[in-house]
Chains A and B, each alone.
Chain A
Amino acid sequence: MSTDPTTYVLRGARPLDGDAVDVVLADGVVTEITAAGTATVQGATVVDAVDHVLLPGLVDLHTHLREPGREDAETVASGTRAAAVGGFTAVHAMANTSPVADTAGVVEQVHRLGEQAGWADVHPVGAVTVGLDGVRLAELGAMADSAARVRVFSDDGKCVHDPVLMRRALEYVKAFDGVVAQHAQEPRLTEGAQMNEGVVSSQVGLTGWPAVAEEAIIARDVLLAEHVGSRLHVCHLSTAGSVEIIRWAKSRGIDVTAEVTPHHLVLTDELARTYDPTFKVNPPLRTAADVEAVRQGLADGTIDIVATDHAPHTREDKDCEWGAAAFGMTGLETALSVVQQTMVDTGRLTWADVARVLSANPARIGRVEATQGRPIAVGEPANLTLVDPAATRTVDGAEQATASGNTPFRGRELPGRVVATFLRGRATVLDGAPVDAHVVGAR
């Protein structure tokens, strides 16, 4: 993989919100960390980083890049470019493409497209079952052994609901230190479901998606994981009950990790009253009490990571009746701001915690911790994100790098701005804009 011959001096940056320093990046690694204003490197590009927070490059464990199959909604190139703009240096590409990423061939294709695009490391997630049909295990070993080195397996979009199949998958991936990332949704309890089941669904007349349909699967799966001694990752946990179950499981020593999406940290099912399908997502937006519970869970470590569940959709799939619209919302370019707004600016997480939940922990769960989610230290890979926490911006879907406009934050003012992103010492974003000309294969 290419590195930028340019040497960068990040002047006055505050790593993890600590004391201001100068950070020098050269040859793909951090070469020097020295007192602010003191680094002098011949021919280096100096980036004014005064009052900016320096984070390890963000790692998304849950991204839908849509390629192959739905290149009209997103491509690996457009999705990873959006990721870079959002401060990410690695993304895990979900398997529900067309064809499904259930063979070594497909995961290698996605992996290669990611390398060609060059915006961020792309780690394909392999499907647990063939065609996501929940019937037969896909060739998990072949995907793990492929050039894509798959370690995360998920039928995301669908739940591995058959308990026997789930048990087998949990057991099988132990052979190569993999993890099953479960989309927890009991299918029978959610037939035709459109939104969270509760007061709002009863009033707006949309079929409910009950919290218990998520919680019942999580409860079963943590017990299965305990029984077979496997690790389990729970995708996009969305209810207060789910947080309780994870907390209980961890207290028993069960090897489970959990993620929450940015949208579940801030948006509620009240938005369904607008019937704007932008707010239709799976799992659905829940109540204010659930939002508070997942914030608390993230703050106390019950929830390990924030993952975007970036789910781009074309206008045709969203400009229609709520009942006919696709589930999902984009998130790569707003995730960090939402975490800042809901967790940092409220005093519930420090920037060091942000580095943990958006970089170190997802890298560890995805087994990419050798290169991503590293400490900010001399000799470490220069995968870094520079954030101006004092900036604010109003979100406009049309101005985003993602190919789709279905952001639920349209028109909202959010704090924080990614000023620069570095992938192995090469700037993918500078001055808040993607560095297209420097990137091999970029549009």
Chain B
Amino acid sequence: MKHLLSTADLSKEEAVGLLDTAAQMAATQSREIKKLPTLRGRTVVNLFFEDSTRTRISFETAAKRLSADVINFSAKGSSVSKGESLKDTALTLHAMGADAVVVRHWASGAPYQLAHAGWLDAAVLNAGDGMHMHPTQALLDAYTIRRHLAARGSGLAGDGGDGVGADLSGLRVAIVGDVLHSRVARANVALLRTLGAEVTLVAPPTLVPVGVGAWPCRTSYDLDATLDEWRPDAVMMLRVQRERMSGGSGSFFPSPLEYSRYYGLDARRLARLADHAIVMHPGPMNRGLEISAEAADSDKAVIVEQVANGIAVRMAALYLLMAGDSSAEGNDL
């Protein structure tokens, strides 16, 4: 594995290997001394063309826990004002000797271009690109699901704690909200499917992409029916962006109130979840819109834990991409 660009590129073995490595990384994070010398002398550049303090801090923490040097490079620019070109930025990072580039970009595919255009020979980690992919988010979600629910699935391979070695077969995950614009949803559908879980997307029809029929999952417009009849083991709520509900003919639903009424996870729907079910959210949450305070703060919510797991998963990704000799043959997980 030279880059981490899309969860669709991961085989089941690679995905389980990543989660298992994350489990070992997580184990080191409960120690008094959390820092490992593994990536000493290597440089990770956090290249952010779009603000995301949470993701950047998570990657920065992960890299520092592995003793890598971290350089934060903010190359903010919108599609209107391009700012420094992707190519020039890549050539700059190449000249600076970056070993890995963590890239967040507003344009779908920008990390893919960085990895393949020949401007740069560093490992590229996609930290979210446009509406396309957010692989480490999906991996931390899968890690969180496995930790809580692997014992309920049929894919438990070993007797290790926290589901180490297991995939997610037999588990059901509902992903609820703005699927159309969501890289988190795309990344999760591909990864959860690879790991053997079943996925149902739940959204108003306006927020489901044309072409979703080719995705390896079910689609529903009815959250209540999905919760009652399909009985998901995990419910993942997606953030609804403010601009999607601005008035006028371009908005995707009539009003925030109507959205909450049909697609929000509130106390009433929370109560209908199975006892073992968990509630997830990639953050930041719009409390009162897609998720109510009762749901967000309930015992079923693992939202804060997702953040902690994000560090372990990103440590695992950095380790697997950076620690070995990338030119060595058979450099798979």
Contacts and interface: CB of A to CB of B under 8 A. Distances in A.
A210 interface: yes
Nearest to B189: A203
Interface string A402-415: 00000000000000
B87 A319 contact: yes
A274 B109 CA distance: 8
B109 A202 contact: no
A205 B185 CA distance: 11
A275 B115 CA distance: 11
A83 to B, nearest CB: 30
Interface string B200-217: 000000000111111100
Contact of A321 (B107, B133, B213): B107
Nearest to A195: B108
Interface string A265-281: 00000000011100000
Most buried by B among A191, A194, A203, A319: A203
Contacts of B112: 274-275
B85 interface: yes
B199 to A, nearest CB: 15
Contacts of A199: 211, 213-214
Nearest to A325: B107
B186 interface: yes
Contacts of B109: 204-206, 275, 321-323
B181 to A, nearest CB: 9
Interface in A301-330: 316, 319-324
Contacts of B183: 205
Interface in B89-129: 105-110, 112-113, 116, 129
A319 B116 CA distance: 13
B108 A322 contact: yes
Interface in A169-219: 188, 191, 194, 197-208, 210
Contact of B132 (A204, A210, A276): A204
B113 A197 contact: no
Nearest to B105: A321
Interface in A210-234: 210
A205 B82 contact: no
Interface residues of A, number: 26
Given A203-B186, A275-B112, A323 B106 contact: yes
Contacts of B211: 197-203, 208
Given A205-B130, A206-B130, A320 B214 contact: no
A36 B86 CA distance: 59
> Which residue of A191, A321, A322 has the most chain B CB atoms within 10 A of its CB atom?
A321
Contacts of A323: 79, 106-109, 130
A233 to B, nearest CB: 29
B120 to A, nearest CB: 14
B210 A197 contact: yes
Contacts of B215: 202-203
Contact of B113 (A201, A210, A275): A275
B131 interface: yes
Contacts of A320: 82, 85-87
Interface in B112-164: 112-113, 116, 129-133
Contacts of A203: 8, 186, 211, 214-215
B210 A321 contact: no
Contacts of B131: 205-207
A199 B186 CA distance: 12
Nearest to B87: A319
B107 A324 contact: yes
A149 to B, nearest CB: 40
Given A320-B85, A323-B130, A202 B212 contact: yes
Contacts of A206: 108-109, 130-132
Closest 9 CB pairs of A and B: A205-B132, A275-B109, A202-B211, A321-B107, A205-B131, A202-B209, A323-B107, A205-B108, A199-B211
Given A197-B210, A320-B82, 7 more contacts: A197-B211, A198-B211, A200-B211, A204-B109, A207-B131, A320-B85, A323-B108
Interface of B: 8, 79, 82, 85-87, 105-110, 112-113, 116, 129-133, 183, 186, 209-215, 249-250
27 contacts: A194-B108, A197-B210, A198-B211, A201-B210, A201-B211, A203-B8, A203-B186, A203-B214, A204-B109, A205-B109, A205-B129, A205-B133, A208-B209, A274-B112, A275-B113, A316-B85, A319-B85, A319-B87, A320-B86, A321-B86, A321-B107, A322-B107, A323-B107, A323-B108, A323-B109, A323-B130, A324-B79
